[in-house]
Structure 1
């Protein structure tokens, strides 16, 4: 309810600004000045008086789409009163309520009598230009509506889900899979996630210009949450520990497999995963990979192997015997067996971190400042990515014990995800100013891990993924381009790029080895697009002939 209450307040503020800056103009158009203050209906009148589709008014206060549509409607209104020059339009967009107010309170402003205007060739050309710009604008608006409210494209830049999802796969994500999460930053540039561009200013991403207005914000709310992420689902979510973006829906999007849900116990033993004490069951489309160390007597033909096996992150060095050592990441058992048969290979073994080898990274040479991003979660666990847990995934309603030992496990939940104040004073824990030794979990959490586990920055490092961070479930791969992204884990990259036609328009989240093809959707879109264009041209031609 907080979301809709805050949203209503924003709508009322914008409606008051609209009314104050245009009430006299509404009166000149023959309407009660009070109607300029009525949400949606004020823009309905503007569209009616400027001969545009009146149903567009419903778009005027939608998040992200609304500001675009409002600017368009304001321009229509200003043209109605003769303010049609480019400088007028720029002022209307940049300073909408201020500029419209100057027109509103001007003594000499009058309605343009469009029926009596004699259009010169220059004015006709200007009208055509406006029509073209309008078409482009509404194409952008339509795409924005799809992007914001239904499905979002998402690219795979790293190999953490290889070979299930390949580097260079582009997916469509269904935002309604687990209930629709309403936009939290309604004033934003369409299609951009968090920042406008990477400026590289002082190497700090926080200095990059944001694609949204941070001050205009709405609380978290999810509607129609009929489903929750299930074990084995491939899920898109916002990175929970993003230090650049305060708004969780603007944090970097990640894609991993949900391996444990709220209430489950997650564990890694000798690099093998167990949930609730049971070994994982591999799905038909799930190709789990591991890290291997390979000693050879002579150099391997890595480019040649890349062409045979595809994704092949590898680092090369020399061993003490004068031969070569290769550190492979992301090898399936089948690929590992084939590489082991190569004549240059002396020995090959899976690399598993032993127990007690804690994975803690530091940001300084004296090992004082812990790098939480690259350290195993929780910091004090003594675990590593192959020997991990057991760790229970928090569930809404769980009452957990809070002390110095458990605080690293729950502090992000208490302070960052569920927005409480948290202090640790001489071993005493204070939550929202009150001393306590327990805390009640307010939402469900999930464990998200990559199928390529030895090359995956996942929940073993950044911890639990809150339900609030869930975006949706990938539907299908609409494009797959080898070489589209440079993988930092690999010393060899593909020469150029190529389209993987066999992966295009294939379902993503079925769990089956043979994926359902959605090529019919691509064909249908093309038929509708070109068919509609042909129909419009044919209809226009017939209408001209009749006249």
Structure 2
């Protein structure tokens, strides 16, 4: 409710600005000046008077799409009153309500009939009209793509091996934003297709100073509509990284993809690198392969490129020792591990499991005074690591949890960041919104998201619970798969470039080993697109011949 109330306020503010800056122009077009203040209808009139499709008016106040369409409609209106030069259009886009107001209150502004002098139009003017038509086509192609991107599905690339061998490095997916209900955009004014920042200014600078792709000051609260289901155990889920401190907007935080291994109310645990939920071993689906990290000692150098060609994904660190080589392999299945162990160069091979009770804590400085919470185990006061973890209960909406110095690290981010309360811990007492508290009621469901390639995954064991409000949706299918598309910093060997045709247009979230192919859908879209274009050309040609 708060979302739509805030949205309505923004619409009314924009409508008042529109009315103040154009009411005289509406009067000159033969309409009541009050119509300039009426949301949607004001743009409907502009489209009608400038002979453009009137249904476009419904796009005028949509999040992200709306600002683009408003600029287009404003340009149409200015052209109606003779402001056709490039500098006029630029001012209309950059300072819309200010520039339109100067035109609106000008004494000599009059409507220009664009069609009156069509018989005497010059070649230069014809070229300009063609350019306008072309730019209009480009604009609406961008708008259409933006509508799909914002409201239906979003492309997403896999840059790391945390989900191998279910999702491969270089897989490019389409994510269904309606899988768990549609999450309404929270920053309605933004550059289309960009997630959080316009560009990366470099590692030396502060990421918070990178130019943002959205206007942070214009914000809407979290709201999800048509939520008929929630993430279930074993779903592969795309979500916004909860600990992203660069972006305050939830929907602009970095996107991650992991498997939901435990839902609200479940108990999660790792025992010697094996995953347990509610005390039971995990269910391994058909498209999953259990993988582990191994340390291999050899008498001579291994042919890593040949092994990669044989086994596919094989990130490895190679170290030359005094008597041979040491290899740290990530993501080896039992079958591959057995075959590598049988190579003649191998002296010994063992699974690399962090000892129980050894806390995985990392620091930001050499003096070890500042803990890096994004790389350290969650919560940081537990003697856990990625192989020996838990048991940890996943918070559920309505849970009443006890707060003390022992439990606070577990719930600190939930209270202060995810559920937006002020939190203080002073003199051994905990204060929430200024009041001392020994209990807290959880306001939303949380999830445990972990990578299938457990030993190469920065996941919920490090960044903690994933709030429901961070959930984006489910991957639908792989539309492109390129081996070697991303550099693997964890490996001394870079995979060769190769298009994996066998993975393209395959379903990604079925859990089945043999995925459904969607090649026929891609072919149908191409046939419809080019067939429609051919039909329209024939229709246009036939119409001109009949008119002649």
TM class by shorter chain equals over 0.9
1:78 aligns with 2:58: no
Offset of residue 82 of structure 1:
0.3
Give distance in 2, aligned partners of 1:53 and 1:288.
Answer: 55
Q: What is the CA distance between 1:318 and its match in structure 2?
A: 3.7
Q: Which of 177, 180, 203 in structure 2 is aligned with 1:178? A: 180
Equivalent in the alignment of 1:211: 213
2-structure distance, mates of 1:364, 1:115: 70
1:233·1:258 contact (CA, 8 Å) conserved in 2? yes
C-alpha offsets along residues 431-479 of structure 1, whole Å, 9 cap, x if unaligned? Answer: 0111010000000000000000000000000000000000000000000
DSSP-derived class of the 1:374 partner: coil
Deviation of 1:113 after TM superposition, in Å, equals 2.0
Supply the distance in 1 between the matched residues of 2:203 and 2:103 (Cα, whole angstroms). 41
1:270 aligns with 2:272: yes
SS in 2 for 1:226: coil
- The answer as to 2:339 corresponding to 1:331 is no
Q: CA deviation at 1:203?
A: 2.9
Q: Which residue of 2 aligns with 1:251?
A: 253
> How far apart, CA to CA, are the structure 1 residues paired with 2:321 and 2:444?
50
Secondary structure (helix, strand or coil) at the match of 2:242 reads coil
Please name the residue that 2:518 is paired with.
Answer: 518
Cα displacement (A) at 1:149:
0.1
Structure 1 residue ranges (4+ consecutive) displaced by more than 3 angstroms after TM superposition: none
CA distance in 2, matches of 1:238, 1:487: 22
Tell me the secondary structure at the aligned position of residue 115 of structure 1.
coil
**2:52 matched to which residue of 1?**
52
Q: Distance in 2 between matches of 1:53 and 1:115?
A: 18
**1:201·1:208 contact (CA, 8 Å) conserved in 2?**
no
Residue range with higher mean Cα deviation, 44-53 or 113-122: 113-122
Cα distance, 1:114 vs. partner? Answer: 2.6
Q: What is the SS of the residue equivalent to 1:202? A: coil
Instruction: Please name the residue that 1:498 is paired with.
Output: 498
Kindly state the Cα deviation for residue 319 of structure 1 after the two structures are TM-superposed. Answer: 4.5
Could you say which residue in structure 2 is the equivalent of 1:67?
Answer: 67
**Distance in 2 of aligned mates of 1:57 and 1:422:** 45
TM-score normalized with structure 1 length: 0.99
Check 1:201–1:119 CA distance in 2 against 1; reply closer, same or farther (3 A cut): farther
1:350 aligns with 2:351: yes
1:137 is paired with a residue whose SS is helix
- For residues 174 and 204 of structure 1, what CA distance do their matches in structure 2 show? 33
8 A contact 1:284–1:511 mirrored in 2: yes
Instruction: State the Cα deviation string for residues 196-254 of structure 1 (Å, max 9, x = none).
Output: 11111733211111000110100000001111000000000000000100001000000
* Equivalence for 2:539: 539
Write out per-residue CA displacement over residues 367-391 of structure 1, whole angstroms, 9 at most, x where no aligned residue. 1110111100000011000000000
Match of residue 281 from structure 1 = 283
TM-superposed deviation, 1:115: 3.4
Structure 2: gaps of 5 or more residues:
none
Residue 421 of structure 1 deviates from its aligned partner by 0.4
Residue of structure 2 equivalent to 1:414: 415
Q: Which residue of 2 aligns with 1:102?
A: 102
> Residue 396 of structure 1 contacts residue 441 of structure 1 at CA under 8 Å; is this kept in 2?
yes
In 1: Cα distance, 2:217 partner to 2:81 partner = 33
| 1:222 lines up with 2:224 in the alignment | yes
Where 1:203 maps in the other structure, the secondary structure is: coil
Question: Is 2:186 aligned against 1:192?
Answer: no
Q: State the distance in 2 between where 1:498 and 1:192 align.
A: 27
CA distance in 2, matches of 1:214, 1:415: 20
Residues 177, 227 of structure 1: 8 Å contact kept:
yes
Which residue in 2 is equivalent to 1:485? 486
Deviation at 1:38, TM superposition (A): 0.1
Residue 126 of structure 1 is matched in structure 2 by 128
SS of aligned partner of 2:374: helix
Cα distance in 2 for residues equivalent to 1:469 and 1:182:
12
Aligned to 2:155: 153
In the alignment, which residue of structure 1 is the partner of 2:204? 202
Cα offset for 1:268? Answer: 0.2
Aligned-partner Cα distance in 1 for 2:235–2:74: 45
Partner of residue 455, structure 1: 456
The corresponding residue for 2:473 is 472
| Superposed displacement of residue 418, structure 1 | 0.2
Structure 1 residues without counterparts, runs of 5 or longer:
none
Count of paired positions = 545
CA distance in 1, matches of 2:125, 2:190: 34
- Distance in 1 (CA, whole Å) between partners of 2:312 and 2:64 is 40
Match of 1:388 in 2: 389
Q: Distance in 2 between matches of 1:282 and 1:210?
A: 40
Name which of 304, 309, 312 aligns with 1:307. Answer: 309
Equivalent residues of 1:201, 1:207 under 8 A apart: no
Q: Is the 8 A contact 1:295 1:319 kept in 2?
A: no
C-alpha distance after superposition, 1:250-280 (max 9, x if no partner): 0000000000000000000011000000001
Q: Deviations over 1:385-421 (max 9, x none)?
A: 0000000000000000011000000000000000000
